[in-house]
A and B are shown apart, each in its own frame.
Chain A
């Protein structure tokens, strides 16, 4: 048992920190810290910066141009990035699709798509959920019917995050309606510029157009865009969902959030004293910090197992549940820390030329509180995760 990072790991952390200090523009970290959207270009710029250093595809094997970091290195990188308010890496191409292509894609698909993900030429989005298929994803209905050298796709996907920026979408589609639910699904790559695709933005409760509905009306997709085998898509989808989970606990985000709320609570006053000294507030702050300290260690315990070759299974479900509870609690604390100045609607929807209302840190905190309710809903809701934990641990 050793709670310390090794010398190599510490040297790696120093290297990451130095890189961020040198390459992360203050205007970008300032936007991230204040919760202002970077837009497509902002994300692409940051991806390009990381790619130039060879760190964009840090979870990819070297043979595909990745850094092939182990789980501890990834964790250190993610922690440092969160602490420095670096933009999050948009995951759809890099850590969702790419591992699937690397494991199940054809050589031609790997050679064509992977470099374009690295270069930023393609922006991918995810076509999984449907209006009738959320937690029960396998009940999806979007149909793909073979017609010569094409599939003809009809149906609807929803909650497509940043689909408005995407030129490609990877989709789960039903190719065999007669088979058992999980066995009739295929994994298709679809050009978003294909005739018959309509994207409709969904405005979220904090006013941001973050997700979309994507409609498919007789969309013709070349058969070479099928990944792996027909009707084996569910296997690939599960692989995608379980593959990239080292950051699922969001320890770095929570740590950065906790630092931010402490900073705010030292500035805000209640009864003429700093809020951080208020016993009720301090107690709640302390409680979430205690929870986070333990979860950081739980996270490292699981990650170090993964680093030594054991794949995290049910543990990632545990980290997802606890991690999102902690992040949401920090969002709630932050909302309440700013007092009446949480009320102005200062999301980017109305920002722009407007001067900030109240202290500059107050603007987005209530919007974040509401937006991050999604954390316990998406990626397999916390109810689904609890179901997995119980099922596995009770041997069901």
Chain B
């Protein structure tokens, strides 16, 4: 066993941490949150230049990483700094699907993604699907040589910035069938593709996407007809590792901010951190944070193993529980100041808590864990 980062990952961590500490200051982030695009093109270009996007892809795909621990390393730092740029959507969800399923032409996009020139979005969830990955009601049907897509996609993160949407649609089978889901690479601006965009509570933007007779050539198909679920689950497994690591980074920040506040804020003539009632709760935050860190290591280390899904369900369940505790306790121990938008912790707490709503909350992952453990 060795719990140290490799030299390369240590360098990646150091570089990224330094870059974000210098460039992703609270005022920069607040300006990004207020902006129309909800992200910074400069920061994105900077991240690409540092090789952060490349670290999320294997050498075969044009990168220099792509393993579970690469994902965890990058996302922990993004979480620590409260980064809202859509790394999860473009590089993990979109990037991995194209890397895994893309034909020669489609894989051409990878270079643009790694270079920071292209964005992607996964349009899979639907208004009624909640976290259920199999519930796909959007349809794809043949019309001569072409394919027609019809349906609605819900809360498609990064849809507006994406040059292409990866859209899931059912080509055969019933609403919940595992088989019959196909994936398509749909260029932005394709006739029939409509987006209603909006900001999200924890930063970034998403859109409700409507597909009304979107007409695609066969070349838009990503992977094999009807076999989209397995690669989707692979990409979402990696996304779950990323989200879990992001939460741990954000929790680390929440704990550090709380420590600083407890040591400097004085009431009743002394630092509030000298009150034992708060000391014990701060200690619990630290204990739980280490649990969360270990859960990420378990999940990242099993990204390519047969036990992957159970490990990931465990990590996300644990981190959802710990995340709520850490976010709420950090706010409570700060008091009013943590309720203000401009204070760093408010944003960090929102990142932690709102991660619940992507790819499943504590209950969802608990059920997954139970089902997978019984299997």
Q: Residues of A at under 8 Å CB distance from B?
A: 129, 132-136, 139, 158-159, 202-207, 268-272, 278, 280-281, 284, 328, 332, 335-336, 339-347, 350, 354-355, 357-358, 366-367, 369-370, 373-374, 376-378, 381-383, 386-387
Contact = CB atoms under 8 A, between A and B. Distances in A.
A342 B360 CA distance: 12
B335 A344 contact: no
B135 to A, nearest CB: 7
Given A355-B196, A373-B338, A383-B278, 19 more contacts: A134-B335, A139-B268, A158-B336, A203-B341, A205-B350, A268-B130, A271-B132, A278-B363, A335-B353, A335-B356, A344-B199, A344-B200, A357-B155, A358-B154, A358-B155, A370-B201, A373-B339, A377-B336, A383-B275
Contact of A340 (B125, B176, B338): B125
A280 B130 contact: no
Contacts of B267: 133-136, 139
Interface string B265-280: 0111100100101100
Contacts of B350: 205, 370
A347 B200 CA distance: 10
Contacts of B366: 280
B17 interface: no
Interface stretch (B59-67, B70-78, B105-113, B324-332): B324-332
Contacts of A335: 353, 356
Interface in B329-375: 331-332, 335-336, 338-342, 346-347, 349-350, 353-354, 356-358, 361, 363-364, 366-367
B208 A357 contact: yes
Contact of B130 (A269, A369, A370): A269
A139 B154 CA distance: 51
Interface residues of B, number: 53
B277 A280 contact: no
16 contacts: A158-B336, A159-B336, A207-B341, A271-B132, A280-B363, A335-B353, A339-B361, A340-B357, A341-B155, A342-B201, A343-B202, A343-B354, A357-B208, A366-B354, A370-B353, A376-B332
The residue among B198, B208, B277 with the most chain A CB atoms within 10 A of its own CB is B198
A386 B175 CA distance: 52
A205 B367 contact: no
Contacts of B24: none
Contacts of B196: 355, 357
A340 B336 contact: no
A383 B332 CA distance: 9
B349 A205 contact: yes
Contact of B155 (A139, A205, A344, A355): A344
A350 B199 contact: yes
A357 B154 CA distance: 9
A204 B277 CA distance: 27
Contacts of A342: 201, 354, 356-357
Given A280-B363, A345-B200, A376-B332, A339 B339 contact: no
A236 to B, nearest CB: 22
Contacts, number: 145
Interface in B197-235: 198-202, 206, 208
B353 A369 contact: yes
Contact of B268 (A136, A272, A354, A381): A136
A135 B157 CA distance: 40
B189 interface: no
B127 interface: yes
Interface string B254-287: 0000000000001111001001011000000000
B128 interface: yes
B44 interface: no
B130 A336 contact: no
A205 B341 contact: yes
A370 B363 CA distance: 20
A269 B277 CA distance: 41
Nearest to A268: B130
From A129, A340, A355, name the one whose CB has the most chain B CB atoms within 10 angstroms. Answer: A340
Main secondary structure of the interface of B (DSSP, over half): mixed
Nearest to B201: A345
Given A205-B341, A343-B155, A377-B335, A270 B132 contact: yes
A382 B332 CA distance: 9
Contacts of A135: 267-268, 272, 335
A267 to B, nearest CB: 10
Contacts of B155: 340-341, 343-344, 357-358
A340 B130 contact: yes
A70 B138 CA distance: 59
B130 A339 contact: yes
Nearest to B132: A271
A335 B350 CA distance: 12
A136 B338 CA distance: 17
A369 B346 CA distance: 13
A237 to B, nearest CB: 17
A347 B198 CA distance: 11
Nearest to B272: A135
Given A205-B349, A336-B363, A344-B155, A272 B339 contact: no
Contacts of A269: 128, 130
A339 B131 contact: yes
A343 B332 contact: no
Contact of A386 (B176, B198, B277): B277
Contact of B346 (A129, A205, A350, A377): A205
Interface in B112-150: 125, 127-128, 130-132, 135
A374 B328 CA distance: 11
A340 B324 contact: no
Nearest to A131: B337
Contacts of B198: 344-346, 350, 354, 357
B357 A377 contact: no
B135 A272 contact: yes
A306 B131 CA distance: 49
A343 B200 contact: yes
A129 B272 CA distance: 17
Contacts of B328: 328, 373
A387 B276 CA distance: 12
B361 A336 contact: yes
A343 B357 contact: yes
B260 to A, nearest CB: 16
Contacts of A268: 130
Nearest to B176: A272
Contacts of B331: 373, 377
Nearest to A381: B335
B354 A374 contact: no
B201 A367 contact: yes
Contacts of B357: 339-340, 342-343, 366
Interface string B313-331: 0000000000010001001
